Structure 1
Amino acid sequence: MMKRIKGLFERRSTNQAVGGDSYWTDFAALRSGPVNPSTAQSISAVYACVQAIAETTASLPLILYRRNGDGRERATDHPLYRVLREAPNEQQTALEFREWMQACVLLRGNAFAKIEVAWDGQVRGLVPLSPDRVQVLDVAGKLAYDYTTKDGTVTRLLAGEVLHLRHRAGDDGVMGVSPITAAREVVQLAMAERDHGNAAFNNGTRLSGVLKAPGVLKPDQRQALKTSWSSQYAGAANAGKVPVLEAGMEYQAISMTLEDAEWIAARQFSVEEIARLFRVPPTVIGDLRHGNYSNSVEMARQFVTLTLRRHLLMWEQSISHKLLTDAGRRIYFAEHSVEGLLRGDAVNRADFYDKGISAGWLTIDEARKLENLPARQVSDKFKPSSPPPGVKP
């Protein structure tokens, strides 16, 4: 039986010449370690994707609105408004809290926060819980959360006491699965490519090969030769030195160079693969090889509509489901203001306001309010370039 099982994992063919195809052999030999949130972020593309989504999501204004007869208005008098806009707890600002929670969703698949409710039943705070110390339980068909503190104390929280954000759920429909877990091998290959390059540069430009001697070397001669060769020609400081061979020795390279193996091209492809995992356009994370002005603008739009939209809806629906009561959901709702992405672009922001005012769906005072400016004492139906008679612009 053991012989049969062993045969299932036996390598049938390598198609390698003498010395092998070291580009892939080296990857198999490298032990990059396990893929986890910490090691995955050591890959710049993973860090950049998480940074782009988490920072952008957290920096967008998240506003609690109150429905009224004319549409909606900001519910600035509601306790939850301050929690979402200013400080959910004593240690973090709203941006820091949301950025940390969003990063947990992307790297671990789940993010948890304890909901603090005041005597009046309103949410007054959100305290982040480390996903590594949370165990999700199914108790009589309802979820419960066991949280282990640093001193080992276990606290059980009911479903209504925890804000649980998740990436796309796995087979159980409860726990989210992060992109780096769903496609672990993609990240592992990027880590192996990085380690391969580090190893090559640590050894300078020396090719992997063998020194051929005309005769048989004694053990002490072999060790002395190895030590001498490593000290003189290995390492970045010795890159480019010309080796001097004595006593009829010859150097024979048995592996491919970085250029022959197209290591750089493989590294670039890994960036595209990881960007595909997180659904982030490559130009957003700094890969401009195929970017130009036209498609960069379009990919920036896709970043909002295709990448961020899912995460923004996750926050808005979770807030409605967990942080508002049944009666509160009929009156209040939370929504992100994606116009916040134009905050650093004065030209596009001005064009956005101009088109809205010209089309009639935005008034001058509403545009000024978005810019944190006081209202004008003129009728909204007039544009600044066409003031009403007798009124100076």
Structure 2
Amino acid sequence: MGFGFLKRGGSGADAGIPPERKASATGRVVAWQGGGRAVWSSRDVVSLTRAGFSGNPVGFRAVKLIAEAAAALPLVCQDSACRYEQHPVIDLLARPNPAQGRAELLEALYGQLLLTGNAYVEAAGLGGDGLPVELHVLRSDRMSLIPGTDGWPVAYDYAVGGRKHRFDMRTGATAPLCHIRSFHPQDDHYGLSPMQAAAVAMDVHNAASRWSKALLDNAARPSGAIIYKGPEGQGSMSSDQYDRLISEMERSHSGAHNAGRPMLLEGGLDWRPMGFSPSDMEFQKTKEAAAREIATAFGVPPMLLGVPGEATYANYQEAHRAFYRLTVLPLAQKVTAQLAHWLAGFDVTGADAVRIAPDPDQVPALAAEREAQWRRVSEAEFLSDSEKRQLLGLPPRPEPRHGADADSDEAEENSA
């Protein structure tokens, strides 16, 4: 690693002095130290999202698959007494804001959580029932947490275009912002995303894709060597000859459109192809292994992503069931529980707080499991009806009314 400098000018004795070549004394050390060292992409949220989601098909499909599946889950709204078909919380989630429905809002929420490890929901305005008028998902890369003296967050700053808006969290139960984060063992305030865990595999997969593209641009074969065999006494090419040769190679013999074009060598030039082939490097196997690691980090069976070489599950149906049972349902249960707890703080009536949860009975991929569970519970004669309903996640059945209350109800029905 050295740069030669030609000493120009001067006269007399200086004219006969050969060119002076200067090089750094540490050039060889730096060159050897940097050789073979892996170069990784940045680990900030914006760079990871660009490289792992926008620029990687496996990461993109994994995030979309989880977010869309979780957002499409049917939700139930119930309290300790009954399950509601109509409720202000149901209406709010059905149309959280004028631009989004429930599926769009939840897909953005799950996407932010998978890409960054953090998701933020803003409450805009208050309605007559005490609930927010609108809900909005905010970008995690624009949000920063402000901790207080005790370590708990006291505010959040949302920065856009050089301007900041502060959400004050010291407003009692009606917090203007809901922060949902993934588990992070080394951070008290921010979550760890699957994208960060899969960052190394993302780099390997992207590098293998770039390698394959470079091979296609060079006629899908590794480059060879041009050996110069000039006249005796001339051991190297002149600068003009070298520049013309490089220009001719780039113009007429590089790229897929020049594949197979014969090469005309003159002036003592000889072509010697390299001795290895792309199959020797096994880049395709490396790329597939990296794709499986990305899928593993997100909890998606590689079979569902079309990654070859995966035989963990016997068939597609088993992989689909495992995907919902191990990845989609736990994520949806965590997010909806935290949303319900946050929205309960807006209830000014003091009524029993409702719970929001996905309904596994309406998930087609889990139909066989739920059918077997219902059969086992219904055939258990040692369980009462209330215990069976509790095991199946149903609220207790309302007790029948007796005496004067039952007579008044019957009279009301007859009059109606």
Q: TM-score range by the shorter chain?
A: 0.7 to 0.9
What is residue 344 of structure 2 aligned with on the other side?
324
Instruction: Note the residue ranges of structure 2 that are not aligned, 5 or more in a row.
Output: 1-26, 231-235, 380-416
Structure 2 distance, partners of 1:209, 1:282, is 37
SS state at 1:121 partner: coil
Equivalent residues of 2:121, 2:179 under 8 A apart: yes
Structure 2 distance, partners of 1:92, 1:238, is 50
Structure 2 distance, partners of 1:357, 1:340, is 16
Equivalent residues of 1:32, 1:192 under 8 A apart: no
TM-score, length basis structure 1 = 0.74
Equivalent residues of 2:182, 2:193 under 8 A apart: yes
Q: For 2:89, which of 77, 80, 93 is the aligned residue?
A: 80
Deviation at 1:52, TM superposition (A): 1.1
SS state at 1:205 partner: coil
Deviation at 1:162, TM superposition (A): 0.9
SS state at 1:36 partner: helix
Partner AA of 1:118 in structure 2: G
Deviation at 1:170, TM superposition (A): 4.3
Q: For 1:45, which of 47, 58, 67 is the aligned residue?
A: 58
* 1:36 maps to 2:48: yes
Structure 1 distance, partners of 2:33, 2:165, is 51
Partner AA of 1:114 in structure 2: E
* 1:217 maps to 2:229: no
Partner AA of 1:178 in structure 2: S
Structure 2 distance, partners of 1:209, 1:186, is 30
Structure 2 distance, partners of 1:265, 1:329, is 59
If you compute each CA radius of gyration, which structure gives the higher value, 1 or 2?
Answer: 2
Equivalent residues of 2:198, 2:293 under 8 A apart: no
Structure 1 distance, partners of 2:259, 2:71, is 46
Deviation at 1:97, TM superposition (A): 0.8
Alignment of 1:1-393 (within 5 A): 35-41=47-53, 42-68=55-81, 72-76=82-86, 78-84=87-93, 86-116=94-124, 117-141=126-150, 142-143=152-153, 144-150=155-161, 152-158=163-169, 160-215=175-230, 216-254=236-274, 256-291=276-311, 294-325=314-345, 330-342=352-364
Partner AA of 1:146 in structure 2: D
Q: Pick which of 258-267 and 194-203 moved more.
A: 194-203
Partner AA of 2:205 in structure 1: A
SS state at 2:163 partner: coil
Return closer, same or farther for 1:290/1:67 CA change in 2, 3 Å cut-off.
same
TM-score, length basis structure 2 = 0.70
Partner AA of 2:106 in structure 1: R
Structure 2 distance, partners of 1:8, 1:243, is 39
Partner AA of 1:112 in structure 2: Y
RMSD, matched Cα: 3.4
Q: CA offsets per residue over residues 184-227 of structure 1, 9 Å max, x none?
A: 32222222222222222222224223210102222111111112
Instruction: Note the residue ranges of structure 1 that are not aligned, 5 or more in a row.
Output: 1-5, 15-24, 362-393
Deviation at 1:127, TM superposition (A): 1.4
Q: CA offsets per residue over residues 231-262 of structure 1, 9 Å max, x none?
A: 22211112233433334422234474321101
Equivalent residues of 2:222, 2:278 under 8 A apart: no
SS state at 1:217 partner: coil
Count of aligned residue pairs for this structure pair: 335
SS state at 2:80 partner: strand
Equivalent residues of 2:344, 2:353 under 8 A apart: no
Deviation at 1:123, TM superposition (A): 3.4
What is residue 8 of structure 2 aligned with on the other side?
none
Deviation at 1:169, TM superposition (A): 2.5
Return closer, same or farther for 1:242/1:260 CA change in 2, 3 Å cut-off.
farther
